[in-house]
């Protein structure tokens, strides 16, 4: 039986998933890696960890499935986006830790660039805001703060990439320095309308364009793996950033369809077709996917902390030992207490875009305990999602009001998904296959290889696991959401 190997390189772990010829999951392997927090608001990964855990999970999943590399038709990659790496072209060694998408160290630099009038240029060309979230100012920071980096970059000795580029470089033994349009679109350096790197923005940030990778469609020839890695070369035929891969995996191919993925953060994408829609509500305009040279655009709302709030309950407050304990705790919370948690641990994303504010808890009493904290943590995800959806509806009247397709780790929590449905007053659809991010990468590679069907047939096979319907009374919904808005306002004023 032929297989597709999907690499899902995320913020807290690397995974490898084997899909068979019917797009069913045959085997999965996962390894967590260390998060580094050098200073408040700074988040880094060791670049070697990203590569070693990826290679290890690929080997592990092949062994688990009891197959050989010759059974794998193609490999697809999906990855945490915006995370920034710079390495030496000759040695392949990184010159600094990877700076993670959550990192806020360039907030002051972004403020200075805004004051200089650059944000309008950035938004017009890239569809993004001038924010530390994106790769551009992270790359500039590395060039400014690593000894000799600027001179080496100008001499053509250094390569820049998001995580997909770093993985492909290592998978191919340094033969290919490439990315896809969706990852390029998240760097703040790529003109999403013209489909090329922006010389203007690179000049403003003093970034040599020689550092930048070649940009391809999401389904394309990205090279092949070194023969010694898995026993024979495997073609790399698909790449998409994690949220775009989930959009593909959720078969959101029609304009107006919306999906929301709940991983470390939460990301909602609204397909707007072949037209890039400029947001009036501080959402992002981005590329949902690009096939056959034709980009499909999306409006995106980004929440920095979703599943990470459960990790905080575990690792920070230490009130749980496993994420599965959160739902039973929340269900036992005192219904007379209204504890609200604003999880702005690394600032607030859309639609607020406040890099400086930090998390806060409101409504505590002497009786507040782990149960109330657990409920507030899970509810914060629903509140933030409603913020995004309201902004989307205001920006584009074609946005669907019928259902929200969800995926990611937190979508497995019935409690969280029911509250989400209640607070947005709309159905929430959870698919039978929640590995939508990896499935999107697998479909891109498998379709390019001729193994998987076209978009229409793939979309027709999408299957519902459970639909959550809103049960909350209108006055309760309004009261709770008004309380959330007051909490956010107070957090940003602190």
Q: What is the pLDDT of residues 309-334, one digit of tens each?
A: 888 989 888 988 888 889 999 999 99
Mean pLDDT computed over every residue of the chain: 92
Taking residues 397-419, report their average pLDDT. 83
Tell me which residue has tokens 């609200």: 340
In tens, the pLDDT along 226-274 reads 999 999 999 999 999 999 999 999 999 989 888 998 888 888 999 999 9
Environment class of 410 (CB within 10 Å of its CB; exposed 0-12, middle 13-18, buried 19+): buried
Instruction: Quote the CA–CA distance of 18 and 377 in Å, as a whole number.
Output: 33
Confidence of residue 182 (pLDDT cuts 50, 70, 90): very high
| Two tokens, residue 8 | 């899902």
Residue 143 has pLDDT above 80, yes or no: yes
What's the sign of the alpha-carbon dihedral 8, 14, 18, 19? negative
| Res 398: pLDDT | 63
| Sign of the dihedral defined by the CA atoms of residues 250, 255, 278, 397, in that order | negative
How far apart are alpha carbons 367 and 434 in whole angstroms?
37
Res 263: pLDDT: 80
Mean pLDDT along residues 336-357: 87
Q: Is the pLDDT assigned to residue 400 strictly greater than 80?
A: no
Q: Are 80 and 10 in contact (CB under 8 A)?
A: yes
Around Cβ 288, how many Cβ atoms within 10 Å? 29
Residue linked to tokens 């655009």: 297
Q: Alpha-carbon distance 329 to 475, whole Å?
A: 26
Instruction: State which H helix or E strand residue 137 sits in.
Output: helix 135-145
Sign of the CA dihedral running 213, 219, 224, 229: positive
**Residue 450 exposure: Cα atoms within 13 Å on the Cβ side:** 0
Quote the percentage of the chain above a pLDDT of 70: 99
**C-alpha gyration radius of the chain:** 22
Looking at residue 283, the DSSP 8-state letter turns out to be P
Angstrom distances, CA of residue 489 to CA of 103, 329, 354, 358, 364: 23, 28, 11, 12, 17
């Amino acid at each position: 039986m032929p297989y597709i190997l999907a690499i899902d390189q995320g913020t807290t772990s690397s995974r490898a998933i084997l899909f068979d010829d019917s797009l069913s999951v045959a085997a999965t392997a996962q390894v967590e890696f260390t998060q580094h927090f050098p200073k408040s608001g700074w988040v880094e990964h060791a670049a070697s960890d990203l590569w070693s855990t990826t290679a290890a999970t690929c080997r592990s999943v092949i062994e688990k499935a009891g197959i050989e590399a010759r059974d794998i038709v193609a490999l697809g990659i999906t990855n945490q986006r915006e995370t920034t790496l710079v390495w030496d072209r000759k040695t392949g060694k990184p010159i600094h830790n990877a700076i993670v998408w959550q990192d806020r160290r360039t907030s002051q630099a972004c403020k200075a660039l805004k004051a200089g009038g650059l944000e309008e240029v950035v938004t017009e060309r890239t569809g993004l805001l001038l924010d530390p979230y994106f790769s551009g100012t992270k790359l500039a920071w590395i060039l400014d703060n690593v000894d000799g980096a600027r001179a080496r970059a100008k001499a053509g000795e250094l390569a820049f990439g998001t995580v997909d580029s770093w993985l492909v470089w290592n998978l191919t033994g340094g033969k290919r320095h490439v990315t896809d349009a969706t990852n390029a679109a998240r760097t703040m350096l790529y003109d999403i309308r013209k489909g090329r790197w922006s010389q203007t923005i690179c000049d403003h940030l003093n970034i040599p364009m020689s550092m930048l990778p070649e940009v391809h469609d999401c389904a394309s020839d990205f090279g092949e793996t070194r023969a010694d890695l898995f026993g024979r070369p495997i073609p790399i035929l698909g790449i998409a950033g994690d949220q775009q891969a989930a959009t593909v995996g959720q078969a959101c191919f029609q304009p107006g369809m919306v999906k929301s993925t709940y991983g470390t953060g939460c990301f909602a994408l609204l397909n707007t077709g072949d037209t890039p829609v400029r947001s009036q509500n501080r959402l992002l305009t981005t590329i949902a996917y690009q096939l056959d040279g034709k980009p499909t655009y999306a409006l995106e709302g980004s929440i920095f902390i979703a599943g990470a709030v459960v990790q905080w309950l575990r690792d920070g407050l230490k009130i749980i030992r496993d994420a599965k304990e959160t739902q039973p705790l929340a269900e036992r919370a005192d219904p007379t207490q209204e504890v609200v948690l604003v999880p702005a641990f690394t600032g607030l994303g859309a639609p607020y875009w406040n890099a400086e504010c930090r998390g806060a808890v409101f409504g505590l009493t002497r009786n507040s305990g782990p149960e109330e904290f657990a409920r507030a943590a899970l509810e914060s995800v629903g509140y933030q999602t409603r913020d995004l959806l309201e902004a989307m509806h205001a920006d584009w009247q074609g946005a669907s009001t019928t259902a929200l397709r969800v995926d990611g780790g937190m979508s497995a929590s019935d409690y969280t998904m029911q509250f989400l449905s209640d607070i947005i007053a709309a159905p929430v659809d959870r698919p039978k296959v929640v590995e939508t991010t990896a499935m999107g990468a697998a479909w891109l590679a498998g379709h390019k290889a001729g193994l998987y069907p076209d978009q229409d047939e793939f979309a027709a096979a999408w299957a519902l696991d459970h639909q959550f319907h809103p049960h909350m009374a209108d006055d309760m919904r309004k009261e709770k959401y008004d309380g959330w808005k007051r909490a956010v306002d107070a957090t940003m004023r602190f």
